[in-house]
Amino acid sequence: MKSIVDGVLKFQKHTFPGLSGLFKELATAQNPSALFITCSDSRVVPELLTQQDPGDIFVIRNAGNIVPSYSSAPGGVTATVEYAVAVLGVSDIVVCGHSDCGAMTAISSCKCLDHLPAVAGWLRHADSAKAVNAARIHASPAARLSSMVRENVIAQLVNIKTHPSVALALEQGSLNLHGWVYDIETGSIVALDGASNQFVSLAEFPQTVATPAKRSVLAA
């Protein structure tokens, strides 16, 4: 804990003064352009890997970068998605999984989670990805995990579309969805291409979006 408190003091003394103008602007308003949903894993730092400043991205983090399907039951993720889309008006949502994810490892290796009932219950929101991944043949445990991480991103993008605020913004063409997987060792990111349903290098294809081409609504 000492290093954390020391970090606060260092921030206040050395970093904050250089950013005081920005924080003055941000003191009473925020206007983030994107909602970034990723894992709680200590090695995944959204602002660092996207090089964004305070005020730039709205963030949800939880075990496994999960977005439960919409429900009227109270839920932190549901409320935060709704606020980001309906109030802040973000134009993009990124669901970002990552390599060596403990939550996805537990699912893909069918580890017993009897001693972690809360985690087990939470990860049920990834059951569709689990079913798809379990039905495939994988060359190795590492390949099975990599596939699980990607399938989970796809599953959570499906889940998020069940949220009314997201469905409406997609219908109105004011929101794009992105599915990423971040590799901790190399810093590289692959992104889901909604047109081909394949993950491609974000560096090579920076325009990649997961949102499928908007369907045209034909008059009857």
Contact by Cβ (8 Å): 149, 44: no
Exactly one of 90, 101, 166, 210 binds Zn ion (CB under 5 A); that residue is 101
Question: What is the rounded CA–CA span in Å between residue 214 and residue 139?
Answer: 36
- β-pairing verdict for 92-98 and 176-182: parallel
Give min distance, CB of 101 to Zn ion, in A. 3
User: What percent helix, strand, coil does the chain show, rounded to 5?
Assistant: 45, 15, 40
Choices 5-13, 35-43, 163-171, 203-211; region in contact with Zn ion by CB under 5 A: 35-43
Give min distance, CB of 38 to Zn ion, in A. 8
Does the protein bind Zn ion through residue 39 (CB under 5 A)? yes
Give min distance, CB of 100 to Zn ion, in A. 8
Give min distance, CB of 196 to Zn ion, in A. 26
End-to-end CA distance of the chain: 64
- The count of residues in the chain is 220
Does the protein bind Zn ion through residue 106 (CB under 5 A)? no
Exactly one of 35, 41, 85, 148 binds Zn ion (CB under 5 A); that residue is 41
Choices 29-37, 100-108, 126-134, 163-171; region in contact with Zn ion by CB under 5 A: 100-108
Contact by Cβ (8 Å): 97, 39: yes
Residue 132: how many other CB atoms lie within 10 Å: 15
Does the protein bind Zn ion through residue 60 (CB under 5 A)? no
Q: Give the binding-site size for Zn ion (rule: CB under 5 A).
A: 3
201: three-class secondary structure by DSSP: strand
Q: Which is nearer to Zn ion, 169 or 181 (by Cβ)?
A: 181
* Residues at the site binding Zn ion, with contacts judged by CB under 5 A: 39, 41, 101
